[in-house]
Amino acid sequence: MARWFVVVVVLLLLSTLIPASVMHAQPKPGGELVFAATEEPDTLDPQKTGTAITGLLMRYLGDTLVTKDLKGNYIPHLAKSWTISGDGLTWTFQLRSGVKFHDGTPFNARAVKFTIERALAPETKSPIAGALFGPVASVEAVGDLTVVIKLKEPFSPFLDNLTDPRAMIISPQAVQRLGDQFGRAPVGTGPFKFQEWHSADRIIFVRNPDYQWAPSYAHQGPPFVDRIVVRIMPESAAQVAAFERGELSVLLAVPPTDVRRLQATQKYTFFSFLRKGVGLFMEFNITKEPFSDLRVRRAFNYAVEKKLVLNIALEGLGEVAYGPLPPSIWGYWDGVKDYAPRFDPGEARRLLAEAGWQRGQSGFLEKDGKPFKFVLYIAPIDTWRRSAQVVQAQLKTYGIQMEIQTFEFGTLLSKLRAGEHQAEFMGYTYTSPDIFYLWFHSSNIGKGLNFSHFKDTKLDELIEASRKEMNQTRRLRIYRDIQKYIIDKALWVPLWINHFYIAVQPNVKGAKIHPDGFLALNDVYIQ
Amino acid sequence: MAIALPVRRQNRVLQRLKQRPVVLAAFAVLGLFVILAVAGPLFSPYDPYTLIPGAVMQPPSWEFPFGTDELGRDVFSRVIHGSRISIRIALVTVSIPLVLGGTVGLVAGFYGGLLDVVLMAVMEVMLAFPQILLAIAILAMLGPSLVNAMIAVGLSAVPVYARTARGTTLSVKSMGYVEAAKALGAGDIRILLKHILPNIFPPLIVLATAGVGISLLIAAGLSYLGLGAQPPTPEWGAMLSEARAYLRNAWWMATFPGLAITLVVLSLNVCGDWLRDFLDPRLRV
């Protein structure tokens, strides 16, 4: 009797010694994960979208041939392995077997061929996905699980582009069945399946119970949560309030003003990372006065005190930007900090005077009797508006009158493409230095993102060389030259690179941040 | 308006105002804002555009009575400066429909016939849209700015004024003195300007007084939507719009411009109501 009693007591004592975390470590399936999106997707067709939110959602709905692990290394996903020919022109992929689309049809080489050919077809009018596949000449399905992709010329960003969520493989049958409606009911192979989309309200994805092909950084098998609910909430203040009320499981973009307050509550798990892209820069339209003058553009680079802009607009939650690439993107040249102009009001004044701008009687700069006045186009983004007003106040001390004009984002983009602006505020997020092609190659004037309307043979040649160079060391050297050249030509005044903050409710466990700036949800469970 | 009245009536105005302390208070509030608008720089302790480093989002204090905003600007100075902008908005948004709507209504009512049908059909079409929607549509064509917002709000109010002017013109036109003037051989222009216009003015003035409140509200609404005043203009609606992102951190940024809008619009409505009663012959004792 006594011995039996001792055994029970020991067992009870032992059980209290096992930490609670271990007892609850077993992920529990079920529950839903709710987060908010500021903008509504234009479409959920990965090949027809131009919005960032669709790119994010496709991470959950689809899989790509290649992906990156949590350290940023390229790892197999829908492709088990791949080989590249010596000349860099032939890429052969061995596909994973046993993968099924959400509609039950099998994933195979024909689906890969269909996906890439559709993205490249002119009638798809793909804003981003088409460019990812760039110089693909042909896609061949050799048997069921082997794909051979031939390129017109070597294309060094290709492997990285294949990891982009917009390069996900889509179900050929679903596209044929749904036609134009595919963007309202997309079908992929990802851990979550599309369920419903109520415009201006919410989008719901449900768990894919057949998911057995997770990338190596996640657990094998279907995700734990039953549903993902994406609520469309344009107001960031409303998102913060909903998160604090517990209506949102995750706050994807904590506004800079709320970061310290939410951190101080010590209730939430925080993830933060440096944006993969320059958060804000002033870009000049070099075809318009007064920014056709290089001296004026350079003067602006010396005139603006970026640290002050960062401190007021972002409350210091970021880094000052010096060049067109952030340190968070491969290809960033470390020497940029010393190479780029630093805040130097004297040098700014000297350059402006050299360009013929003299203080007039009004106290403002004048040239040929005309005052230095220009309009800066911005989008209605809070941190942009704050930054614009700080820059405006700084430029005023030099006698420069800057007016701010706000446009809704879509309108702004079309005005920039048409070249109606003198200067604008812009920011970008991208995973590779091939952003240079999209932003600075002259073929992207008018239709792409070349808003400076800068047409320059030397820059074009450098960018083309960077895309063809397969040797990483030589490629890095070309990227360094491009960064130097863009700074020399002063096409931008780079301002800041923001830290992104993601806040997660205490009952949401297992969230992992991916180096490409999203939350991997495969292992997430609700406690 | 009251200044132009003869002494005997002026006394009666004061007498009747004394019976309505709320109206008196409303007039006082409006008077205060007009003084602030005219002599604003004398009262505002800071420049409304100057960023004060190190004083970002400070709560109200003796130094900053209404606190400071997200860029470290004094909210009190900005609200005072905003009253000047609001007066400008009020003047412009009321003058446009008064002149345009008045003319359309006058001409349509006086000449009648096909001209009347066409003019009023255009006005009816415009009336079919809610005023703010019409203003947004006009702004979409003109592009967002404070001046364009004022024009848009003014234009969108034209049909209401045109209808009122036309209705009054119709009733005045059949008056004995107009008939008499016609019989004496007076020309159209003379009859329109000398006999009809002075008589259709009172209802339009009442409409204008009541309408200023609505116009200010719509202009503020447009700025709130980012279609009106552009930063750093301290227009109240724009201030409110910028403050909404910081509601949880800095209540004062939204409260004071919001209070200013409320006070002015409420006062204008009270005064407009009173003026209508006052000028209505049926309610005159």
The 8-class DSSP code of residue B187 comes to -
pLDDT at residue B44 is higher than 80: yes
Cβ distance of B242 and A385 shorter than 8 Å: yes
How confident is residue A331, by pLDDT bands cut at 50, 70 and 90? very high
How confident is residue A2, by pLDDT bands cut at 50, 70 and 90? low
Rounded to a whole number, what is the distance in Å from the CA of A287 to chain B's nearest CA? Answer: 22
Nearest CA in chain B to A235: B245
Among candidate residues B171, B157, B177, the one with its CA nearest the CA of residue B104: B157
At a CB cut-off of 8 Å and minimum separation 6, what does A378 contact? A384, A385, A388, A404, A405, A406, A407, A412, A424, A425
- In angstroms, the CA A144 to CA A189 distance is 17
**A92 has a chain B CB within 8 A of its CB:** no
Cβ distance of A380 and B226 shorter than 8 Å: yes
Rounded to a whole number, what is the distance in Å from the CA of A425 to chain B's nearest CA? Answer: 14
**A390 has a chain B CB within 8 A of its CB:** yes
Rounded to a whole number, what is the distance in Å from the CA of B260 to chain A's nearest CA? Answer: 23
Cβ distance of B226 and A388 shorter than 8 Å: no
Greater model confidence, A237 or A347: A347
- In angstroms, the CA B72 to CA B49 distance is 10
Cβ distance of B249 and A392 shorter than 8 Å: no
Q: Which CATH superfamily is domain B86-283 in?
A: MetI-like (1.10.3720.10)
Which residues of B touch chain A, with CB atoms under 8 Å apart? 49-51, 53, 56, 70-72, 143-145, 226, 230-232, 242, 244-249
How confident is residue A394, by pLDDT bands cut at 50, 70 and 90? very high
Residues in chain A closer than 8 A to B144 (CB atoms): 405-407
Rounded to a whole number, what is the distance in Å from the CA of A379 to chain B's nearest CA? Answer: 10
Cβ distance of A388 and B231 shorter than 8 Å: yes
Greater model confidence, B91 or A226: A226
Among candidate residues A53, A325, A75, the one with its CA nearest the CA of residue A166: A53
Optimal mutation site among A235, A386, A403, A420, interface B, most CBs of chain B within 10 A: A386
How confident is residue B225, by pLDDT bands cut at 50, 70 and 90? confident
Optimal mutation site among A233, A317, A396, A406, interface B, most CBs of chain B within 10 A: A406
Q: What pLDDT digit, counting tens, does each position of A259-278 carry? A: 999 999 999 999 999 999 99
Q: Tell me the residue ranges of DSSP E strands in B69-214.
A: none
Q: Is the peptide bond before A29 cis (omega within 30 degrees of 0)?
A: no
Mean predicted lDDT score pLDDT of chain A: 92
Query: Strand, helix or coil at A112?
Result: helix
**A403 has a chain B CB within 8 A of its CB:** yes
Provide the 10 A C-beta neighbour count for residue B254.
Answer: 19
Residues in chain A closer than 8 A to B71 (CB atoms): 312, 386, 389-390
* Residue B175, pLDDT score: 85
Q: What pLDDT digit, counting tens, does each position of B105-140 carry? A: 999 999 989 999 999 999 999 999 888 898 999 988
Q: What pLDDT digit, counting tens, does each position of B167-222 carry? A: 999 988 888 888 888 888 888 888 888 888 888 888 888 888 878 888 888 888 88
Dig out the tokens for A277 from the structure.
């892209």
Q: Above 0.90 for ipTM, yes or no?
A: no
Cβ distance of A389 and B226 shorter than 8 Å: no
Dig out the tokens for B176 from the structure.
């004995």
* Residue at B23: amino acid letter: V
* Residue at A355: amino acid letter: A
Dig out the tokens for B24 from the structure.
């008196």
Residues in chain A closer than 8 A to B226 (CB atoms): 380, 406, 408
- In angstroms, the CA A454 to CA A448 distance is 12
Q: Are A61 and A188 in contact (CB under 8 A)?
A: yes
Q: Are A62 and A169 in contact (CB under 8 A)?
A: yes
Averaged pLDDT for residues A119-139 = 90
Residues in chain A closer than 8 A to B246 (CB atoms): 237, 257
Residues in chain A closer than 8 A to B72 (CB atoms): 312
Among candidate residues A107, A101, A56, the one with its CA nearest the CA of residue A79: A107
* Residue B285, pLDDT score: 46
Averaged pLDDT for residues A177-204 = 95
How confident is residue B9, by pLDDT bands cut at 50, 70 and 90? low
Averaged pLDDT for residues A39-63 = 91
Averaged pLDDT for residues B263-275 = 88
Nearest CA in chain B to A238: B245
CB pairs under 8 A between A and B: 59
* Chain centre distance of CA A378: 19
List domains and CATH numbers for chain A.
Answer: 32-249+505-526 (3.40.190.10), 280-499 (3.10.105.10)
Q: Are B273 and B101 in contact (CB under 8 A)?
A: no
- In angstroms, the CA A103 to CA A186 distance is 10
* Residue at A22: amino acid letter: V
* Residue at A110: amino acid letter: R
Cβ distance of A389 and B232 shorter than 8 Å: yes
User: Quick one: residue B60, left, alpha or beta (phi over 0 = left, psi -120 to 50 = alpha)?
Assistant: beta
Provide the 10 A C-beta neighbour count for residue A3.
Answer: 7
pLDDT at residue A121 is higher than 70: yes
* Residue B6, pLDDT score: 57
Q: Which of A257, A390, A405 sits opposite B71 (nearest CB)?
A: A390
At a CB cut-off of 8 Å and minimum separation 6, what does B208 contact? B94, B98
- In angstroms, the CA A52 to CA A47 distance is 12
* Residue A22, pLDDT score: 47
Segment holding B77, helix H or strand E = helix B75-111
**Between residues 266 and 305 of chain A, which touch chain B (CB distance below 8 Å)?**
none
Query: Strand, helix or coil at A378?
Result: strand
